Structure 1
Amino acid sequence: MSATDLFPAEILPARRFPARVDEVLVGDGTGFETRGVEAITLTYGGVAGDLHAGLTRPSGAREPWYRRGTEMKNDRQVSIVDAGELAEAAALMEIDAIRPEWIGANLVLSGIPDLTWLPPRTRLLFEGGATIVIDGHNGPCRQAGAAIARHYPGREGLDLAFPKAARHRRGLVGWVEREGRVAAGETLTVLLWERRIYR
């Protein structure tokens, strides 16, 4: 008996569909948060001037297979979110809103249902020529929760509430495959590869 007899293959076809850039942001200050700008420049190192830019980065808690601080490829150059998913997380936390800049986002996209569930290897082909390859979902953490809590003084426990409320709603991280400029208001094409659901 083969593995496919035990676990039938479900193969999803390749497809492409349009989406839109609603906001672009850069983290060029001293802290974790980003700020809105008209456009960002994507280089092979990530968002030019951003806190998370670089061809490599030190490993952290997300990579327990390496000793903390091991130099590795930076697959988390760009943080991408959907405003609707953030609104869902905010509702679960019983707060008015979660702004993308509070949690260090670089791109706010619309027109992509369940953005956080886009599979790894998906490509975002921007109107201006830049391309981002999706590495995977961005697991919510207490650091982002603490950033949100600073905007709601008097509300305790928001730093701990965010990881639970934003699970599968925190968006994605990716890396730059092709350099270029990305501006608010431009369109992009989402390219999904043919893929088999691996059980």
Structure 2
Amino acid sequence: MTLPMFPAEAPVLPEIRPARRIKGEVSMLLAALGRDFLTEAVASLEMGYDGIGGDFHAGLTRKSGSREPWYTRGTEMRNERQLSIVASDELAVAAAGMGIDRIEPGWIGANLVIDGIPLLSMLPPRTQLFFEGGVTLRIDGDNGPCRHAGAAIAKNFPDMDETTVALSFVKAAKRRRGVVAWVEKPGVVRQGEKVTAHIWEQWIYPSGS
């Protein structure tokens, strides 16, 4: 039996939360200009549609990995992970949970540190980041912490067991490791720049539908 195009009773919609804007500030810029994901501080970031020029994660496409088990590893796919964005307050909480005094953004390959936006790691997919200099980034989603990044942190604490530190990062940084994004409108981002997060209307798709 086919359903009528215009049913007599409309489905009950979930709670819909209106769009909103939150302002923050760029407190640090970093780039991975070497052969691995570790980043170092820079004064500005020039971004094109393929991300940060010369950065380890730049490119319109990328190879699939363990995060995409639905593809054969190494499958070429759209690069939605051009940039890694973190917040100082979340890294501090993660570090405390690991029993260490700090997590430097460059140790985990961050490109931008944006402060002033509460719960930055939980900004929903589709959120746009409008920078006052003209750049727009589009958030794909949260950046799940992995043991690989944890091992990079552990190298800075040689008196601690590397495996223990690496594994503790996975737990302590869950939903605190920031977000990944791609360049929607290119340009140059500079340290100290103001940024506005535009969060679109939100709702939870109902179960059983």
Shorter-chain TM range is: over 0.9
1:42 and 2:47 aligned: yes
Aligned residue number for residue 186 of structure 2: 179
1:158 corresponding residue in structure 2:
165
Where does 1:4-153 land on structure 2 (aligned, <5 Å)?
Answer: 4-5=11-12, 9-153=14-158
| Residue matched to 2:201 | 194
Please tell me the residue identity of whatever aligns with 2:110: A
Cα offset, 1:30, TM superposition: 2.4
Report the CA distance shift for 1:91/1:10 in structure 2 as closer, same or farther (over 3 A).
same
1:167 match: 174
1:138-172 deviation per Cα after TM superposition (whole angstroms, max 9, x unaligned): 00001100100000002111111110110010000
The separation in 1 between residues aligned to 2:146 and 2:116, in whole angstroms, is 26
Q: AA paired with 1:17?
A: I
Secondary structure of the structure 1 residue equivalent to 2:121: helix
For 2:21 and 2:130, how far apart are their aligned partners in 1?
10
- Aligned with 2:35: secondary structure? coil
| Offset at residue 4 of structure 1 (A) | 4.9
Structure 2, unaligned runs of 5 or more:
1-8
How many Å separate the matches in 2 of 1:31 and 1:192?
A: 32
Describe the SS at the equivalent of 2:106. Answer: helix
Q: Root-mean-square deviation (CA), in Å?
A: 1.5
The answer to whether the Cα contact below 8 Å between 2:23 and 2:195 also exists between their aligned partners in 1 is yes
**Alignment length (residue pairs):** 197
Q: Helix, strand or coil for the counterpart of 1:175?
A: strand
TM-score by length of 1: 0.95
Structure 1 residue 197 displacement after superposition: 2.2
| Off by >6 Å, runs of 4+ in structure 1 | none
Bigger CA radius of gyration: 2
